Amino acid sequence: MAKPKLLMMGAYAAWDMDDLEANYDVLKYWEAPDRDAFVRSHGADVRAIATRGDLGASADVMSKLPKLEIVSCYGVGVDAIDLGYAKSKGIRVTNTPDVLTADVADMGIALLLAVARQIPRGDAYVRDGSWAKANMDLVTRVSGKKAGIVGMGRVGSTVAKRLAGFDCDVAYFDVNKRADLPYAFVADLVELARRSEFLIVTLAGGGSTKGMINARVLDALGPDGILVNISRGSTVDETALLDALASKRIKGAGLDVFWNEPNIDARFKALDNVVLQPHHASGTVETRKAMGKLVRDNLKAHFSGSALLTPVV
């Protein structure tokens, strides 16, 4: 029997590519010089899309694949997939929750420590010989501080657990209070920012959270406050953030995600109060192997008529 045709929106790690190429007729969208023409000439028999959180699947691409049955996403965030369109056409969607939660939460803590304790500057201070001339100036403590988490989902609650280990006083904002968690619920985001010395953003992306971290929230966080974003670039008003960082209306920021990845606003690179990461919170070998396996297992389940492991509802 012919292998099902799979359109891949971007590259996966070699171990996943090998397995996918053994089991599917793989079409590499990202390698096509003219992507529209590529989809038009090869799309008629495509039954599945394998994509990534950052690449998603637009209604435009899906509409050119009349036999599309499933979109399997390497990533938990499905904000770049047009879920409304998929639903209207009965196209199934899967993602990779849980397997990446610990690593993404770890990155939140790493960025917080990196900004507060100025780890990159300390590293440069040792390497460039500055240490021999004078001791580095003093930095900011993390332990025992007031932390605010914006979005108390899987990642948010895992960050909270880690912060509790630092004896932080943790509060959070979300649409609903989580009765199962011991942390203080603050129904007003500006109020949460006002009471917090660190704000860690772990929201889902998409229209409902777009620009939630705006100038008012940043001003409430204040000149001693640190912002960490491990969610999606879209959740933060980047113009307001750049302004607040440049004018020191907040102390600093640790950012894994941006509006325009990977070509981020060049002004970030000129700031000395930010620590930047290349959207890499889930980027460990261990987690990426588990994510790839989950993408492949969902596709396998679909084509063998079994229940999907992690459908997006």
- Does 151 bind ligand 8YV (CB under 6 A)? Our answer is no
- N-terminal to C-terminal alpha carbon distance within the chain: 31
- List 16, 54, 174, 237, residue binding ligand 8YV (CB under 6 A): 54
Rounded Cα–Cα distance for residues 244 and 228 (Å): 14
Nearer to ligand 8YV, 273 or 284 (CB): 284
Closest of 91, 12, 35, 29 to residue 59, by C-alpha: 91
CB of 214 to ligand 8YV, least distance (A): 22
Name the catalytic one among 47, 52, 162, 232.
Answer: 232
The reply to whether 197 belongs to the active site is no
The reply to whether 280 belongs to the active site is no
- 10 Å CB burial of residue 115 (0-12, 13-18, 19+) is buried
- Does 299 bind ligand 8YV (CB under 6 A)? Our answer is no
- Does 256 bind ligand 8YV (CB under 6 A)? Our answer is no
- List 4, 43, 53, 252, residue binding ligand 8YV (CB under 6 A): 53
Closest of 198, 232, 183, 197 to residue 212, by C-alpha: 232
- Does 75 bind ligand 8YV (CB under 6 A)? Our answer is yes
Please give the size of the binding site for ligand 8YV, defined by CB under 6 A: 10
- Does 282 bind ligand 8YV (CB under 6 A)? Our answer is yes
Name the catalytic one among 279, 288, 296, 302.
Answer: 279
Return the half-sphere exposure (C-beta side, CA atoms, 13 A cut-off) of residue 310: 21
Rounded Cα–Cα distance for residues 9 and 103 (Å): 24
Buried b vs exposed e over 46-85: b needs ≥16 C-beta within 10 Å? bbbbbbbbbbbbeeebbebbeebbbbbbbbbbbbbbbbeb
Nearer to ligand 8YV, 196 or 282 (CB): 282
Rounded Cα–Cα distance for residues 216 and 222 (Å): 10
Site string for ligand 8YV, 261-280 (x = CB under 6 A): ------------------x-
- List 76, 171, 201, 227, residue binding ligand 8YV (CB under 6 A): 76
Residues carrying an active site annotation? 232, 261, 279
Binding stretches for ligand 8YV (CB under 6 A): 52-54, 74-77, 100, 279, 282
